[in-house]
C-alpha cells in the first residue's frame, strides 16, 4: 500500500452533514470499516454546513400520505435517539398550521386544512382550532384557523451534532475533514476515490453532498447524469419580544408554526438568554411572489403576529444555513446512481430534509450494505432523470 493510499473501506460516505452522519450511524450495525469524507469540517460550529443551525422543525403534517408516513416514522427514530442521549434533542411544543381569511379565503384549499385531513386519515394526533379557540389557546396569533400537530416541535441541532459525533467516535467511524474529492471511479466491486489528501477505496459509497451534488456527479468517471435541482435560502429574521411578554413565546406557550401557503414558518424562543423568535419566509413552489399579500417576514408579522410587530429584530446571516434544494418534480432523490452498482445517492430534500434524517440514513445504509430496502422508493428513484 502506497503512502497516500488509505485502507480499503466497507463503506465511504461523501458528505458529513446530517444525512451523512445518520447514514454512518445506521450503517455501523452492518459494517466495520466506515469513513466519512467531508469537504469542510463537521462540528456544531461549522457555519458553512447546509444543516448548520440552532433549530429545525419536526412535524408530520404533509399533503402527501407518503411523506406524512415517512415523517412519522422518522419522528419515532428521533425519539429513540433522544433516549440514547444525555441531552434534549427534540422539544415537543407542537407544530401549528395557520390560515387567515384575508390572505387565503378558501380554507378548504389551505395547507393547514388539507394536511389536517391527511393526518386524520392516518390517525395522527391533530387538534383543530376555530378562530375563537385559537385566540384562547395561542393569543399571540391574529389568524382565523389553526391545525395543531400535537406531536411536532423542533429539533435542537447543536446537541444532535454533538451526540452523533460522540457516538460515531465510539463506533470507530473515521471522519476525514477538508477533503476535496477529485475523481471517483467504479471498477467491478471496488470504488476508487482520488482526493487532495490521498486515495481511498471502498466496496460501496454513499453520496450525501448537499449543495455540492451536481459538482460531485461530474467527477464520477463515465457519468453524464446530473439532477435538475435549484437552490435558495429563505429570509430569516429574529425578533426579541419585550421581557414582560417573553414567556408567551417560550416553547411551553408557543408552538413551531407555519403558513405554508404563503411561505412562512417560525420557531419559539429556544434559549431564554438569547430571547429570539425565529420567523422565516421562502417563496412557495409555483407561486408568483408579486401576486401574494405576504412577500416577506415583515408582511407576515404585521398581519399575523402583532405582538412582535414593534419588537426589535435582525437578520443574522450566520445563525443558520438552511438551503432549500428543490428538485424539478419536487420529490426526494434516493437510490443507486444509474449505470453504477455500488454508488448510492441521497439529495433534493426540499428544504424539509432534516426531520427525515434518521430514516433517510437508515434507508441509504440499507441500500449500500444490503442492496435493498424495505421502503418503497419508486417515487424517489434516480432513474426518473435518465433520458
pLDDT digits (tens, 9 = 90+) for 328-348: 999 999 999 999 999 999 999
Overall average pLDDT of the 162-181 stretch: 96
- Residue 2's pLDDT is 46
Q: Residue 50: which pLDDT band, with cuts at 50, 70 and 90? A: low
pLDDT at 14 exceeding the cut of 60? yes
Overall average pLDDT of the 359-378 stretch: 97
pLDDT at 241 exceeding the cut of 70? yes
pLDDT digits (tens, 9 = 90+) for 52-91: 678 999 999 999 999 999 999 999 999 999 999 999 999 9
- Residue 255's pLDDT is 98
pLDDT at 174 exceeding the cut of 90? yes
- Residue 319's pLDDT is 65
Residues 6+ apart with CB under 8 A from 93: 152, 153, 154, 251, 252, 254, 255, 256, 268
Closest to 186 (Cα-Cα) out of 167, 207, 159, 156: 207
pLDDT digits (tens, 9 = 90+) for 155-164: 999 999 999 9
- Residue 316's pLDDT is 74
- Residue 272's pLDDT is 84
Find the helix or strand (DSSP H, E) in which 142 lies: none
pLDDT at 1 exceeding the cut of 50? no
User: Judging by DSSP bridges, how do beta strands 174-176 and 34-37 pair with one another?
Assistant: parallel
Phi, psi of 35 (to 5 degrees): -130, 140
d(CA 13, CA 6) in angstroms, rounded, equals 15
Task: Cell numbers for 376, please give them.
Answer: 418503497
- Residue 292's pLDDT is 85
- Residue 315's pLDDT is 87
d(CA 80, CA 94) in angstroms, rounded, equals 18
Mean of the per-residue pLDDT values of the chain: 94
Residues 6+ apart with CB under 8 A from 304: 98, 100, 141, 142, 143, 259, 264
Amino acid at each position: 500500500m502506497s503512502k497516500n493510499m488509505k485502507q480499503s473501506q466497507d463503506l465511504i460516505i461523501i458528505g458529513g452533514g446530517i444525512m451523512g452522519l445518520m447514514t454512518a450511524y445506521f450503517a455501523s450495525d452492518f459494517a466495520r470499516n466506515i469513513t466519512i469524507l467531508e469537504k469542510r469540517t463537521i462540528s456544531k460550529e461549522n457555519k458553512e454546513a447546509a444543516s448548520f443551525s440552532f433549530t429545525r422543525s419536526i412535524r408530520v403534517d404533509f399533503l402527501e400520505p407518503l411523506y406524512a408516513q415517512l415523517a412519522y416514522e422518522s419522528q419515532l427514530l428521533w425519539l429513540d435517539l433522544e433516549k440514547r442521549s444525555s441531552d434534549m434533542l427534540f422539544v415537543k411544543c407542537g407544530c401549528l398550521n395557520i390560515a387567515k381569511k384575508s390572505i387565503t379565503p378558501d380554507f378548504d384549499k389551505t395547507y393547514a386544512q388539507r394536511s389536517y385531513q391527511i393526518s386524520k386519515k392516518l390517525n395522527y394526533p391533530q387538534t383543530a382550532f376555530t378562530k375563537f379557540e385559537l385566540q384562547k389557546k395561542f393569543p399571540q396569533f391574529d389568524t382565523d384557523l389553526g391545525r395543531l400537530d400535537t406531536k411536532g416541535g423542533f429539533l435542537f441541532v447543536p446537541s444532535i451534532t454533538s451526540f452523533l459525533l460522540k457516538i460515531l467516535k465510539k463506533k470507530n467511524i473515521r471522519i476525514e475533514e477538508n477533503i476535496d474529492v477529485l475523481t471517483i471511479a467504479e471498477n467491478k466491486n471496488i470504488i476508487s476515490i482520488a482526493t487532495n489528501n490521498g486515495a481511498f477505496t471502498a466496496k460501496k459509497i454513499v453520496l450525501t453532498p448537499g449543495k455540492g451534488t451536481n459538482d460531485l456527479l461530474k467527477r464520477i468517471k463515465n457519468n453524464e447524469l446530473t439532477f435538475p435541482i435549484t437552490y435558495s435560502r429563505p429570509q430569516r429574521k429574529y425578533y426579541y419580544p419585550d421581557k414582560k411578554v417573553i414567556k408567551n413565546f417560550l416553547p411551553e406557550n408557543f408552538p413551531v408554526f407555519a403558513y405554508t401557503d404563503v411561505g412562512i414558518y417560525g420557531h419559539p424562543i429556544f434559549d431564554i438568554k438569547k430571547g429570539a423568535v425565529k420567523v422565516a419566509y421562502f417563496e412557495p413552489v409555483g407561486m408568483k411572489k408579486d401576486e401574494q399579500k405576504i412577500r416577506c417576514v415583515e408582511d407576515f408579522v404585521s398581519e399575523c403576529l402583532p405582538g412582535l410587530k414593534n419588537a426589535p429584530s435582525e437578520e443574522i446571516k450566520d445563525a443558520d444555513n438552511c438551503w432549500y434544494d428543490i428538485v424539478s418534480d419536487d420529490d426526494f432523490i434516493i437510490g443507486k446512481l444509474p449505470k453504477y452498482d455500488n454508488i448510492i445517492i441521497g439529495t433534493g430534500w426540499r428544504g424539509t430534509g432534516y426531520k427525515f434524517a434518521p430514516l433517510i440514513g437508515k434507508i441509504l445504509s440499507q441500500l449500500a450494505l444490503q442492496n435493498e430496502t424495505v421502503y418503497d422508493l419508486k417515487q424517489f428513484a434516480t432513474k426518473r432523470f435518465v433520458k
